[in-house]
Amino acid sequence: MPIIVNVDVMMAKRKMSLNELSEKVELTLSNLSILKTGKAKAIRFSTLEAICKALNCQPADILEYVEDPQN
């Protein structure tokens, strides 16, 4: 998939655990884990906003577009 989710990178930069982020954004650990591992098919703007607020970052810090080499 050409969209890369960098939640784990931003969490590491902010020294924040998955549990701590889960509490701050009010998202279950399982849903946050799906997002963190790049297995999510979609993300709500409200969730992206909450993550950006908790990690003090921009959406571009979380989501990255990488061109698919097969196309």
Return the domain boundaries, the chain.
3-65
Helix ranges (DSSP H) in 1-71: 7-13, 18-25, 29-36, 45-55, 59-62
pLDDT band at 62 (very low <50, low <70, confident <90, very high): very high
- What pLDDT is recorded for position 68? 78
Dihedral (Cα; 47, 50, 52, 55), 10-degree rounding? -120
Do residues 59 and 52 make contact, with C-beta atoms less than 8 angstroms apart?
A: yes
Do residues 4 and 40 make contact, with C-beta atoms less than 8 angstroms apart?
A: no
pLDDT in tens, 6-53: 999 999 999 999 999 999 999 999 999 999 888 999 999 999 999 999
- What pLDDT is recorded for position 1? 62
pLDDT band at 71 (very low <50, low <70, confident <90, very high): low
Region 3-65: CATH code: 1.10.260.40
Distance, in Å, from the CA atom of 34 to the CA atom of 40, rounded to the nearest integer, reads 6
